[in-house]
Amino acid sequence: MLVLTTLLVLILSFLAVRIYLKNVKKLVAPEDASPKKPISVNYHFTRKCNYECGFCFHTAKTSYILPLVDAKRGIKLLAEAGMKKINFAGGEPFLYPKFLGKLVKYCKEELQLESVSIVTNGSLVKERWLETYAQYLDIMAVSCDSFDETTNTSIGRGKGTHLETFVNLSLLCRKYNVKFKVNTVVCRYNFNEDMNAKIEQVAPFRWKCFQVLVVPGENDSSATLRNAQRFVISDEEYEIFCRRHQHQKSFVPESNAVMKSSYLILDEYMRFLNKGVKEPTKSILEVGVPAAFDDVYWDDESFVKRGGEYDWQKEKKKEGSAYDF
């Protein structure tokens, strides 16, 4: 009897210790806790641009561009760290169409990323590029700040033919099965404009409307390459624009509060930018993604709040299907 009692006590003690350790583990590292991952990254591989938009916050302070082999290595590191989507931006990425095409193909064909997208002003996109690389591209986002060409010219968005190029590119995206997105910077020059009819005509799947943003050291004064101060609007003026267009199904507003730290931006050296909060991180090519990521200020809650993950994959084109464009 004494032996059985002793054995029972030992069993109960063992179970009590296991339960205790399990609860301690939950307190220290909850089951649902997981390290942050760079789910969606914007790679600004060049700062050079053929446009002169007055509010640009990623200006041509350098002309540097990584060798292709290093760019691929960095992107692979990001994919291994959990990146699902990459967005190529600038500057103007189509200043380097071959470089861009090879990266787009690499991301989709070899890394098999969920989504590959490009932000462009559209002026340098050629149909022959789409003939070759559209199959590897999910989304093309084209900048359009006004449907009044005079306003575009005043902003620095082209020399008077931007809208013609913009509309033509919307048709080409449909032809080559690339999701067409529109990016608009809401500023002093356009916040009173009614864009509803024109947006309905081009019918983007997503229309991002950013409140113009001033970034220290990039576009905040006459000492920087761009000075966005003359474009700045109040939060109330931004809301006027939003209320006018909020019924559009594609409409996605992003105020300064939401936008500022909810993006992961990788510069031409593959450093994460801290958007005026502090200096850029070290390059992921030097220290790896985890070390660089630990040093970047990224508001992942705002990323989720602004719908950072969305329907970012294009539908596969069925054989024999036709597109009415």
The residues that are catalytic are: 49, 53, 56
Question: Pseudo-torsion of CA 244, 257, 49, 207, nearest 10°?
Answer: -30
Phi-psi domain of 285 (left: phi exceeds 0; alpha: psi -120 through 50; beta: other):
alpha
How far is it, in rounded angstroms, from Cα 86 to Cα 44?
10
The 8-class DSSP code of residue 230 comes to G
In one-letter notation, the amino acid at residue 111 is L
Tokens (6 digits) for 59: 């200006």
Nearest-CA neighbor of 263 among 282, 276, 250? 276
Helix or strand holding residue 200 (H, E): helix 196-202
In one-letter notation, the amino acid at residue 194 is D
Q: How many CB atoms lie within 10 A of CB 128?
A: 8
In one-letter notation, the amino acid at residue 283 is S
